[in-house]
Amino acid sequence: MRLLVISLFALSLLSGCANKPFKDEFESDKPWVEQLTQLPHYPEDKNLLAFDAGSVTNNQYLVDTTSIQIGEDDVIRFSLLIKSASGARNVSFEGIRCDTSERKLYALGRDDKTWAQPRHSEWQKLDYVRQFYAQRELAKHIFCPNRQIVRSTEEAIESLKAGMHRSIIR
């Protein structure tokens, strides 16, 4: 009888563990909170670093290296410039959450080199919007390899530099 009680007790402990994933024992119960961020200076051409976003488009993609911020909330924020083949320029200040593979638009650049607030500024899954070529490349291969955020601005810049030549390796 005593062996039966011990066996049932052990079984109940094991079944309790099966309902709770192992990683939950180490993760905090605190919800993720996005930190407030300050807009950087408008990008200057001398601070722009190009990277390869794939052969899907003829656009040129550049990040302002002086704008890269790695937040305590594990979001990497940066100014992105997309230049079309005809010379049109789109500037934005964005953030990427590496662990969820999401991006957020914080501001849009204007012709007078100031920032404008976007109409919508929510986190969006990168895989759900086809046009996020640059953001997907930044998330998968440059700023968030293996969904782990780079540790410093310097590491982000080195990764961007390596991404310039990625198309040769592919």
What is d(CA 104, CA 126) in angstroms, rounded to the nearest whole number? 10
- Looking at the chain, how many residues does it have? 170
CB neighbour list of residue 93: distance below 8 Å, 6 or more residues apart: 39, 40, 67, 77, 78, 79, 80, 105, 106, 107, 108, 109, 115
The pLDDT value recorded for residue 165 is 46
pLDDT of residue 16: 53
Identify the pLDDT of residue 9: 47
Sequence-separated contacts (24+) of 81-86 with Cβ below 8 Å = 81/43, 81/48, 81/109, 82/134, 83/59, 84/58, 84/59, 85/58, 85/59
Of 60, 76, 57, the residue nearest 68 (C-alpha): 76
Q: Please, what are the domains in the chain? A: 45-169 (2.40.128)
CA 93 to chain centre: 12
Average pLDDT over the chain, rounded to an integer = 83
Band the pLDDT of 32: cuts 50, 70, 90.
confident
pLDDT at 166: 43
State how far the Cα of 126 lies from the Cα of 100, in Å rounded to an integer. 9
Q: What is the pLDDT of residues 57-114, one digit of tens each?
A: 788 999 999 999 999 999 999 999 999 989 999 999 999 999 999 999 999 999 999 9
Interatomic CA distance for residues 43 and 54, integer angstroms: 23
Token code pair at residue 169: 């390796």
Q: What is the pLDDT of residue 144?
A: 93
- Whether pTM > 0.85 for this model: the answer is no
